[in-house]
Amino acid sequence: MQTVIARCDGLASQPTPPTLRQLAELLAAVELSGEALREAQRPDPRRPYGRRVFLDTPVMEGMLATWTPGAWCAPHDHGGSVGGVRVLQGRARHRVFCVRDGGLALLREEQIEAGAVISCGPSLVHAMRCDGGDAGLVTLHLYAGPIPWMTVYDVEGQETLQVSGGCGAWIPHDQPELIRARAPGLVPPQAFPSDAT
- Residue 1: band (very low, low, confident or very high) from pLDDT cuts 50, 70, 90: low
Higher pLDDT pick, 56 / 93: 93
- 168 or 9, which is more confident: 168
CB 42 within 8 A of CB 66: yes
pLDDT over 70 (residue 40): no
Q: What is the pLDDT of residues 58-74, one digit of tens each?
A: 889 999 998 888 889 99
The full set of domain ranges for the chain reads 2-147
Q: Is the pLDDT of residue 196 over 60?
A: no
The fold of 2-147 is: Jelly Rolls (2.60.120)
Percent of the chain residues past pLDDT 70, beyond the cut = 88
Distance CA 69, CA 168 (A): 17
Distance CA 14, CA 60 (A): 10
With a cut of 60, say whether residue 197 has pLDDT above it: no
Decide if 73 contacts 150 (C-beta within 8 A): no
pLDDT at 15: 79
Q: Residue 128 pLDDT > 80, yes or no?
A: yes
The model carries a pTM of: 0.88
- Long-range CB contacts for residues 161-169, cutoff 8 Å, separation at least 24: 162/189, 162/192, 162/196, 162/197, 165/61, 165/79, 166/53, 168/47, 168/49, 168/51, 168/73, 169/48, 169/73, 169/74, 169/76, 169/127, 169/128
**Chain Cα centroid distance, residue 102:** 23
What is the Cα–Cα distance from 139 to 107, expressed in whole angstroms?
22
Average pLDDT over residues 137-142: 92
pLDDT cut 90: percent of the chain above it: 49
Please check the confidence at residue 46 and state whether its pLDDT lies above 50. Answer: yes
